[in-house]
Amino acid sequence: MKVVVIGTGHVGLVTCATLASLGHEVVGVDSDESKISSLQNGLAPFFEPGLEDLVNEQMKAGRLSFTKEAAQAVPGAEVAFICVGTPARADGEANLIAVEQAARDIARHATGSLVIVEKSTVPAGTANRVRRAILHERSDLASSIHVASNPEFLREGKAVDDSLRPDRILVGAESDFAREKMRQLYEPLVDQDFPFIETDIQTAELAKHACNAFLALKISYVNALARMCERSGADVKAVATVMGSDARIGPQFLQAGLGYGGYCFPKDILAFERLATRLGYSFPLLQEVARINGEAVDATLDKIRDALWNLEDKTVALLGLAFKPDTDDVRLSPALALARRLLDEGAHVVGFDPEAQANAKSEIPELEVAPDAYECAQGAHCLVVCTDWDEFRDLDLNRIRESMNYPVVVDGRNLFDPESMRANGFTYYPTGRPAAV
């Protein structure tokens, strides 16, 4: 099938590469010229395990190409995906200008019957807007275009695997034609028995926000428990194990820590709450989820202050800068929120991340970055674990302790074992667990 993907970011590029690997002929379009030229040279513009190799493999196989011009890519396409960003406006509403622009670009160059698929995360009701925008552009397309919603559930860091082995493929369609095309598109995955769920469009749109809001809620729930445990002397890790062993609850997303970040959860919670309000339903639980998430950075900062007293002239080392492991994405990373607070209080902040150094530095130029974890810890008064990269588990803790100014570790991800930290001579502040002070 001939497929065009508008927006070649974290979702769009994975969509391009995986659909090409399923045998389709895919063209990726992006308005960012530098992104397109690096892709044309076989370079992924961001770090995602396995993605660059898959992109190159599919380009060599002649199934995948990239262009800046929708005019070159859209004519002849049978399916057009919209994978552009939907950031939060100041009031929390999703900013859908890029979705409208992409829809109008597609409309301008559409030929023949075309299914236009929202993959970007959008509030329920957006498909009607997309359809209207298309018809404003080209009223002659009324009977030949079909809108569908196919929300994306990939996780950054595991995006390729999530797309080739999805928990489910969700398709909301307005016509049998669109439903049938989407089935054909995903046939190689449907044939492998990956669940294919069909709904109406607004259900698919709403289900995506519902999933992200619920996952964020789980994280905030366990983080609120961490605050309770810190005040009562209980251990949140053990509490989460007890909760997670209940099959009705499940263990995933019950790790207390610095809170959620990244491009999706923060904005999606806000957009979902705004949607509820617009629909005349009050859903303050969602505001609470966001508020509790903000407390996680405050609680970590309190521990750093408790350990160091005054922060002026102290050096704080941050292990991990990305919003989660296996990505270089620092968008709304809690590590960077913490770095900004520490800098505001006069601390000297040094960070290390296996992949996200350059992105972090471009967001916060005052942040010093170290070439590895050991140099990051060297001379620090406090080391804070901000991102639970696997490789941090194997660090030589003796070497770290000996190189630090004060042997203080604040573990924002409960990466280390309190007993061995105590035995190693650290003053250790985990999250939601008794400190070894």
- Interface contacts to ligand NAD, rule CB under 6 A: 6-12, 29-32, 35, 83-86, 98, 101-102, 120-121, 152, 154, 156, 263-264
The rounded distance, in Å, linking the Cα atoms of 149 and 116 is 8
- State the angle between helix axes of 236-244 and 201-232 in degrees (0 to 180), rounded to the nearest 10: 140
- Best CA proximity match to 58, nearest among 90, 23, 87, 84: 23
The dihedrals phi and psi of 217, each to the nearest 5 degrees, come to: -65, -40
- State the angle between helix axes of 201-232 and 284-308 in degrees (0 to 180), rounded to the nearest 10: 40
Contact 271, 94 (CB under 8 A): yes
> Given the complex with ligand NAD, which of 329 and 411 has the nearer CB atom?
329
Contacts of 284 (CB under 8 A, 6+ apart): none
Q: In the structure encoding, which two tokens stand for residue 294, read together?
A: 């903000």
- Minimum distance of ligand NAD from residue 435's CB (angstroms): 34
> Given the complex with ligand NAD, which of 230 and 353 has the nearer CB atom?
353
The rounded distance, in Å, linking the Cα atoms of 303 and 431 is 9
Q: In the structure encoding, which two tokens stand for residue 61, read together?
A: 């196989």
- Minimum distance of ligand NAD from residue 234's CB (angstroms): 33
- Minimum distance of ligand NAD from residue 372's CB (angstroms): 27
Q: In the structure encoding, which two tokens stand for residue 66, read together?
A: 């990239």
Residue 137 CB neighbours (<10 A): 17
Range list of H helices, 74-200? 97-109, 126-137, 159-164, 176-185, 187-190
The rounded distance, in Å, linking the Cα atoms of 386 and 423 is 22
> Given the complex with ligand NAD, which of 321 and 383 has the nearer CB atom?
321
> Given the complex with ligand NAD, which of 73 and 299 has the nearer CB atom?
73
- Minimum distance of ligand NAD from residue 267's CB (angstroms): 7
The rounded distance, in Å, linking the Cα atoms of 401 and 436 is 15
Question: Which listed residue (16, 229, 264, 376) is catalytic?
Answer: 264
SS3 at position 291: helix
Q: Give the residue at shortest CB distance from ligand NAD.
A: 9
- Minimum distance of ligand NAD from residue 208's CB (angstroms): 7
> Given the complex with ligand NAD, which of 98 and 308 has the nearer CB atom?
98
> Given the complex with ligand NAD, which of 152 and 230 has the nearer CB atom?
152
Longest Cα separation, the chain: 74
The rounded distance, in Å, linking the Cα atoms of 377 and 416 is 16
> Given the complex with ligand NAD, which of 55 and 264 has the nearer CB atom?
264
> Given the complex with ligand NAD, which of 9 and 407 has the nearer CB atom?
9
- Minimum distance of ligand NAD from residue 359's CB (angstroms): 12
The rounded distance, in Å, linking the Cα atoms of 165 and 39 is 24
Contact 312, 243 (CB under 8 A): no
- Minimum distance of ligand NAD from residue 68's CB (angstroms): 8
Q: Is residue 264 flagged as an active site residue?
A: yes
- Minimum distance of ligand NAD from residue 82's CB (angstroms): 9
Q: In the structure encoding, which two tokens stand for residue 211, read together?
A: 């999933």
The rounded distance, in Å, linking the Cα atoms of 27 and 150 is 18
Catalogue the active-site residues.
264
